[in-house]
């Protein structure tokens, strides 16, 4: 029987494999589509008189979107996933707690609040 942690690891691995598979198919479609655009322009002369070598711009635009897809799979999603989000949230909460403690100590030193109030707030 799988534990909760093993299931999370499995689901994360399955998600990564799906992302990589979609990226691979995007690349295959990009290659086939690029060849199709070259044939459409070169052999069939579609839009050649009016737009010249329009297929080059179409392929470059498609390549740009494929590169964004690569970045999403290998860079952004890997570094900005749920674990990163949880870690950053914990870091911000920790910084906030340190600031609150410093402020409470400062207020106690200045006599604005009593030390008993600090103990009550720490107990909660």
Please give the model's pTM, rounded to 2 decimal places.
0.59
Which pLDDT does position 13 carry in this prediction? 87
Which pLDDT does position 47 carry in this prediction? 64
Alpha-carbon distance of 88 to 17, in angstroms, equals: 26
Alpha-carbon distance of 16 to 24, in angstroms, equals: 12
| Number of residues that this document lists for the chain | 124
Alpha-carbon distance of 52 to 120, in angstroms, equals: 77
Name the pLDDT band for 79 (thresholds 50, 70, 90).
confident
Residue 9 has pLDDT above 70, yes or no: yes
Residue 59 contacts residue 34 (beta carbons within 8 Å): yes
More confident residue, 68 or 118: 68
Which pLDDT does position 2 carry in this prediction? 64
Residue identified by tokens 């340190």 is: 98
Tell me the per-residue pLDDT of 81-107, one tens digit each, with 9 for 90 and over. 777 788 888 999 999 999 989 988 888
Name the pLDDT band for 122 (thresholds 50, 70, 90).
low
Mean pLDDT value of segment 27-36 = 96
**DSSP tag of 112:** S
Tell me the per-residue pLDDT of 33-76, one tens digit each, with 9 for 90 and over. 999 998 888 777 766 677 778 889 999 999 999 999 999 988 88
């Amino acid at each position: 029987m799988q534990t909760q942690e093993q299931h999370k690891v499995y689901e994360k691995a399955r998600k990564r494999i799906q992302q990589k598979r979609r990226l691979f198919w995007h690349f295959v479609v990009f290659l086939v589509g690029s060849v199709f655009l070259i044939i459409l322009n070169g052999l069939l002369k579609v839009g050649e008189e009016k737009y010249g070598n329009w297929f080059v711009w179409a392929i470059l635009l498609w390549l740009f979107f494929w590169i964004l897809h690569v970045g999403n799979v290998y860079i952004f999603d890997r570094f900005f996933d749920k674990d990163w989000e949880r870690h950053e949230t914990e870091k911000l909460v920790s910084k906030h707690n340190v600031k609150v403690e410093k402020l409470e100590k400062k207020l106690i030193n200045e006599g604005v609040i009593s030390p008993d109030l600090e103990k009550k707030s720490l107990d909660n």
